[in-house]
Amino acid sequence: MDVETATARLERAIEAGDEEEAPRTAQALLDLGVEPTHVTAALSRTMAGLGRRFQTLDIFVPDLLIAADAFEAAMAVVEPAFLRSEAGRVNKGTVVIGVVEGDIHTLGKNLVRVMLAADGFTVHDLGRDVKVARFVQAAAEHDADIIAMSALMTTTMGRMNDVVELLRRKEARGNRRVIVGGAPITQQFADEVGADGYAEDAPRAVALANRLLDRPRLR
Amino acid sequence: MTGLERIRRAVRFEPTDRVPVVPLLGAHAATLAGIPHQRACRDPAAQAEALLAAVHAYRPDAIFTLMDLTAEPEALGAAVEVRPGQPPVVTGYLPREALDTDALERRILTARVPVFVETVSRLRKSLGDSVLVGALICGPLTAAANALGIETLSRMLRRDRDLLSRLLDRLGAAVTALLQRHADAGAHAVMLLEPVATTAILGRRDLEALLLPSLRDINRAAREAAVLSMLHICGDCRASLSLLGDSGADVLSLDSPVDLPAAKDAIGRSAALMGNLDVRRLLPCGSPASVYDSARDLVSAMGRSGGFILGTGCELPADTPRENVARLLAAARP
């Protein structure tokens, strides 16, 4: 199998959510001697393409979810080599992400995590039902550029405000950006709680993260 | 004309003296009555007291039970946690095999589900036929999602469709048994809650192949039980409207992302439409005047010749200002 064929096969495996074929083909590409960045670029390109198809309702959440599974399986193969490479030392930005306290709905958060990782961000997943103080603590621990919060219930979205408030009280916001998302969240809500941005879905969250780290912070 | 008559005529696309108005008042009603949510979803007397207080305060044309998407999953075996000041949440999901049994029809009638059936009975005793009394119950897809976890369900949609199809058939039969129980308790209507059937998750192909057969069976059972069948979808379902119109539901209750006049064009007279003022920003945070104007605009756009019930896109948040709810109701009255 040549590089071109294997790359196309990897992309198809991600699109089909094939958790066995994707890591096998990623390994095959490494065995052919390609740079790890060739593999990560193919993975990133494929996930971005799926994100665009999701926004036009050509595919749906289940398709994105199984593609994310296959992406993570392939990344597990290529990541050690990638991190040792020159390109692997470049971090687009560090994100801590979690579902706010009282909320256990992780689907959207997981898709954002994978899409951000596919785009070159370093992502630390705090999981679900994350306490207010834990977001702030983790942001400091990982020197995060972005704190990303998700909520699916109107009764829990107020926790986002609490995180922003705690960041302010502890003078821990600095240049950190806060982004929010989830079914009940709107841009207006994001503005009211003092978040730097809101994204309606995972692909838009990636675009938002890129935009926020690409321009000076407004105070 | 009573509220019940008004809604029945509207559902038959017949003219009414005014447009019927039915906000989903559950959580707000509990707040209004000073009854903690966690008590209202466990105590039928408390829930009925809260809902009756809301009927007396606002005079809607219908009253529905509290929206609780954890009651059926809990009855099916999922672990549910109640925290002070918050609605219950599922904290422990079931393995898929736990739903692959014909015991679901019995199991779904256990745990807190009887609270809602008893609430319907109490509402009917107090209200008779003056307003429509309805039960909100999980549809089969949402019951599966909340019992198994949405991620498990999403993966099954692509990797294990045969099993998912079988589980949805079983859950459809269980929901039908629950519907019958509500009909026996005196419900005039049952609204199936299917927030998971939003288009982002369930595309047309999946809806048609996996969910629609169950919905049609449930709606057929509702007709046989002389109960109005309503189907509520949260979020954006514009791409699936024509299929939803063919589900056999008498009423589609749609969320604010859907343009209702466009939905009316899309489904014709296959179902009446209900909705859909925004419960995320407009009702909890907007001014009373903006609520009134939005409601009047919607009534004007939907016409007054039947087939439309003015309402909310989903259940009202508990802390919605009372004046905003009152102005929504006022907008339906000449």
User: For A159, left (φ over 0), alpha (ψ -120 to 50), or beta?
Assistant: alpha
> Are B83 and A201 within 8 A, CB to CB?
no
What pLDDT score does A183 carry? 81
Last residue of a domain, one of A89, A104, A129: A89
Please indicate, yes or no, whether residues A65 and A107 belong to a single structural domain of this protein: no
Please indicate, yes or no, whether residues A53 and A149 belong to a single structural domain of this protein: no
pTM of the entire predicted model: 0.91
Residue A100: inside a domain, yes or no?
Answer: yes
Q: Which domain holds residue A201?
A: 94-212
- Which two three-digit tokens encode residue B94? 């079931």
Please indicate, yes or no, whether residues A116 and A83 belong to a single structural domain of this protein: no
**B246: phi then psi, degrees, rounded to nearest 5:** -95, 10
Last residue of a domain, one of A71, A89, A107: A89
Name beta bridge partners: B90: B80
- Which two three-digit tokens encode residue A185? 């969240």
Q: How many domains does chain A have?
A: 2
* Residue in A104, A107, A183 nearest the CB of B235: A183
Residue A140: inside a domain, yes or no?
Answer: yes
Say which CATH number the domain at B323 has: 3.20.20.210
Please indicate, yes or no, whether residues A99 and A190 belong to a single structural domain of this protein: yes
Task: Kindly indicate the confidence band of residue A107, based on its pLDDT and cuts at 50, 70 and 90.
Answer: confident
Q: Which domain holds residue B252?
A: 3-331
Please indicate, yes or no, whether residues A41 and A101 belong to a single structural domain of this protein: no
Last residue of a domain, one of A89, A105, A125: A89
Map residue A180 onto helix, strand or coil: strand
Say which CATH number the domain at A16 has: 1.10.1240.10
Please give the Cα distance from A53 to A56 (Å, whole number).
5
Q: Which residues from chain B sit within 8 angstroms of residue A184, using beta carbons?
A: 280
What pLDDT score does A218 carry? 35
Task: Estimate to the nearest angstrom the gap between the alpha carbon of B253 and the chain centroid.
Answer: 7
* Residue in A66, A105, A107 nearest the CB of B158: A66
ipTM confidence score: 0.92
Please indicate, yes or no, whether residues A171 and A205 belong to a single structural domain of this protein: yes
Residue A8 has pLDDT above 60, yes or no: yes
Please indicate, yes or no, whether residues A27 and A109 belong to a single structural domain of this protein: no
Among A127, A152, A58, smallest CA distance to B145 is for A152
Please indicate, yes or no, whether residues A133 and A37 belong to a single structural domain of this protein: no
Q: Which contacts of B259-264 are long-range, i.e. CB under 8 A and separated by 24 or more positions?
A: B260/B298, B260/B301, B260/B302, B260/B308, B261/B301, B261/B302, B262/B238, B263/B238, B264/B302, B264/B307, B264/B308
pLDDT per position as a tens digit, B207-266: 999 999 999 999 999 999 999 999 999 888 999 999 999 999 999 999 999 999 999 999
Q: Which residues from chain B sit within 8 angstroms of residue A63, using beta carbons?
A: 158
- Residue B114 C-beta-side C-alpha neighbours within 13 Å: 5
Say which CATH number the domain at A130 has: 3.40.50.280
Q: Name the burial class of residue B126, with classes exposed (0-12), middle (13-18) and buried (19+) by CB atoms within 10 angstroms of its CB.
A: middle
Q: How many domains does chain B have?
A: 1
Please indicate, yes or no, whether residues A102 and A204 belong to a single structural domain of this protein: yes
Please indicate, yes or no, whether residues A144 and A197 belong to a single structural domain of this protein: yes
More reliable by pLDDT, B99 or A107: B99
Q: Which residues from chain A sit within 8 angstroms of residue B203, using beta carbons?
A: 57, 59-60
Q: Are B178 and B108 in contact (CB under 8 A)?
A: yes
